[in-house]
C-alpha cells in the first residue's frame, strides 16, 4: 500500500499517531524504529537494513547491551537528580518521566528486564535508598558530590546560627518586656500611695514649735554592791535566753535563705528543661537497641503486631529491624512502627523531648492519660522523677535473657 501524500488528512493522522508512545513489543532498539502493529514489525525485521544491524549485534552482544544499559541509567538518574533531588519519590513516577521521551532507550534492550530489578540493583549498588511500602517501590537519591556535601554543611551551620541568634533575641525581648511591666507596676503603686496636698497655715502669726523629747543616757555605776554579785546568774540566764533567741532567729533566717536558694535552683532547672524540650523535640524518634511493634499489614498479617529490635537507623526515619521470635529482618519506615512500654521497674530509653537519648526506669503507668512516670537513671539529672511522659516518647530497651 503506497504511503499517504504529504499534507493529506491520512498523512497528518499518521504523524499524530507517531508522536505518542506506542507498544514496546513493536519497537526495534537497534534500528530505533517504532512500528504501529504486528504486520509492520514483521515487515521491518525482514528488511536488509535490520538484518545488517542484527549481524553487528551478534558479533558484539556485550558491548551493545552495556551501552544501552548505560544510556538508560544515565537518563533515569539525570531526571531523578534534577527534578526530585534527595527527596523520597515513587520509582514508577520517575520511570514515567523517562519513557515520556519518544526516543528513550527501552528497558527490554538493557540488562534489566523489569523496573523492579533495576530499582533493586540501585539499592544494592548504594546509589539510592530503596524502600518497599505497600507494594510500591520508593527511592531516595544519595548525593555524594563533595561540593554538594560542603554546601549542605554550610547551609545547616548557617541555619543553626540564625536559629540560635533568633532565640537569643526573643529571650532578650521577653526580658525587656518583663522589666518594663514590673517598672510600670511599681510606678503605679507609688502614685496611688502618695497623695500631695497644699500646705495651708491657719494663723500666720503663730510660731512653729518643735517638741523633741530627748532622753538622757542612764549612768552606769562603777562598783556594784557585794550583795548583788549573786544576781549575775540571772543575767547569765537572760543572756543565754537572748542568745538562744538570736540563734533561733538566725537559724530561721538561714532556713528561709535555703528555701529561696532551692526555689531559685528549681526555677533554673525548669528553664533548662524547657530549653532542652524545645531543642530536642524532633519529628523522628528511632534509636538502636529499642523494642518496637510492627503496625503495618503490608508485610502480611502474620507479622502484624509482632515485636522487633531496631538494629540500625538509616537517615533518621528508616530502621532495619529483627523479629524477636523468628529472627527475620526487615527494613521499615517509622510510620509503620510504634514504641513498646516495659513492665514497672523496667529499663527504657527516652526517644524525644528534654531527656532525649537518656536511660530511665519506669515507675508507674497512667493508662487514662496514655502517659507514664519515669526516673532518670544516668546523666546530670540522675534520680529525677518525670511524670506525664507520653507513650510515644519512650520505649523498652532490648535485653537478651
What pLDDT, in 10s, does the model give residues 234-278?
A: 444 434 444 444 455 555 555 555 555 456 666 776 777 777 888
Residue ranges covered by each domain of the chain = 19-141, 284-340, 342-401
**DSSP-assigned letter for residue 80:** I
Q: Is the pLDDT of residue 356 over 60?
A: yes
The mean-pLDDT minimum among 56-60, 228-232, 356-360, 362-366 falls in 228-232
Task: Look at the domain 342-401 and name its fold.
Answer: SH3 type barrels. (2.30.30)
Write down the pLDDT at residue 286.
Answer: 93
* Rounded-to-integer distance, Cα 88 and Cα 136, Å: 12
Task: Give the residue-averaged pLDDT of 365-382.
Answer: 87
Architecture of domain 284-340 in this structure:
Roll (2.30)
Binned at pLDDT 50, 70 and 90, residue 201 comes out as low
pLDDT tens digits, 123-164: 888 889 998 888 888 999 888 777 776 777 788 777 777 767
Indicate if 342-401 has the same CATH topology as 284-340. yes
* Rounded-to-integer distance, Cα 349 and Cα 290, Å: 7
At residue 295's C-alpha, the angle toward residues 291 and 299, to 5°, is 105
At residue 277's C-alpha, the angle toward residues 275 and 279, to 5°, is 70
Which one is the CATH code of 19-141: 3.65.10.10, 3.40.50.2020, 2.40.30.10, 1.10.10.2030?
1.10.10.2030
Looking at per-residue pLDDT, the higher value among 120 and 103 belongs to: 120
Q: Is the pLDDT of residue 69 over 80?
A: yes
Nearest to 385 by CA among 352, 351, 355: 355
Amino acid at each position: 500500500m503506497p504511503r499517504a501524500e504529504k499534507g493529506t488528512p491520512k498523512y497528518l493522522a499518521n504523524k499524530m499517531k507517531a508522536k505518542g508512545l506506542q507498544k514496546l513489543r513493536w519497537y526495534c532498539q537497534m534500528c530505533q524504529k517504532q512500528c504501529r502493529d504486528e504486520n509492520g514489525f514483521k515487515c521491518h525485521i525482514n528488511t536488509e537494513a535490520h538484518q545488517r544491524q542484527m549481524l553487528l549485534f551478534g558479533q558484539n552482544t556485550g558491548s551493545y547491551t552495556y551501552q544501552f544499559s548505560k544510556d538508560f541509567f544515565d537518563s533515569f538518574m539525570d531526571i531523578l537528580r534534577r527534578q526530585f533531588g534527595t527527596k523520597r519519590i515513587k520509582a514508577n513516577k520517575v520511570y514515567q518521566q523517562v519513557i515520556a521521551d519518544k526516543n528513550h532507550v527501552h528497558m527490554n534492550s538493557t540488562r534489566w528486564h523489569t523496573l523492579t530489578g533495576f530499582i533493586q540493583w540501585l539499592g544494592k549498588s548504594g546509589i539510592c535508598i530503596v524502600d518497599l511500602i505497600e507494594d510500591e517501590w520508593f527511592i531516595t537519591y544519595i548525593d555524594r558530590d563533595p561540593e554538594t556535601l560542603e554546601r549542605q554543611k554550610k547551609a545547616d551551620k548557617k541555619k543553626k546560627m540564625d536559629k540560635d541568634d533568633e532565640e537569643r533575641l526573643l529571650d532578650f525581648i521577653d526580658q525587656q518586656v518583663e522589666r518594663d511591666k514590673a517598672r510600670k507596676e511599681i510606678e503605679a503603686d507609688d502614685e496611688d500611695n502618695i497623695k500631695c496636698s497644699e500646705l495651708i497655715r491657719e494663723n500666720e502669726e503663730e510660731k512653729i514649735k518643735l517638741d523633741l523629747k530627748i532622753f538622757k543616757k542612764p549612768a552606769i555605776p562603777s562598783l556594784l554592791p557585794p550583795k548583788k554579785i549573786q544576781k549575775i546568774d540571772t543575767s547569765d540566764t537572760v543572756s543565754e535566753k537572748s542568745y538562744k533567741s538570736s540563734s533561733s532567729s538566725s537559724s530561721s533566717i538561714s532556713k528561709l535563705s535555703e528555701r529561696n536558694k532551692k526555689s531559685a535552683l528549681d526555677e533554673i532547672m525548669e528553664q533548662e528543661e524547657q530549653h532542652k524540650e524545645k531543642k530536642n523535640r524532633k519529628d523522628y524518634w528511632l534509636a538502636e537497641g529499642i523494642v518496637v511493634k510492627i503496625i503495618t499489614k503490608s508485610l502480611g498479617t502474620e507479622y502484624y503486631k509482632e515485636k522487633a529490635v531496631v538494629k540500625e537507623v538509616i537517615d533518621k526515619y528508616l530502621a532495619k529491624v529483627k523479629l524477636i521470635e523468628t529472627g527475620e529482618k526487615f527494613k521499615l519506615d517509622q510510620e509503620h512502627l510504634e514504641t513498646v512500654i516495659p513492665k514497672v521497674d523496667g529499663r527504657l530509653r527516652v526517644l524525644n523531648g528534654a531527656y532525649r537519648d537518656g536511660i530511665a526506669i519506669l515507675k508507674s503507668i497512667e493508662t487514662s492519660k496514655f502517659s507514664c512516670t519515669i526516673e532518670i537513671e544516668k546523666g546530670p539529672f540522675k534520680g529525677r522523677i518525670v511524670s506525664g511522659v507520653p507513650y510515644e516518647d519512650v520505649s523498652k530497651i532490648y535485653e537478651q535473657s
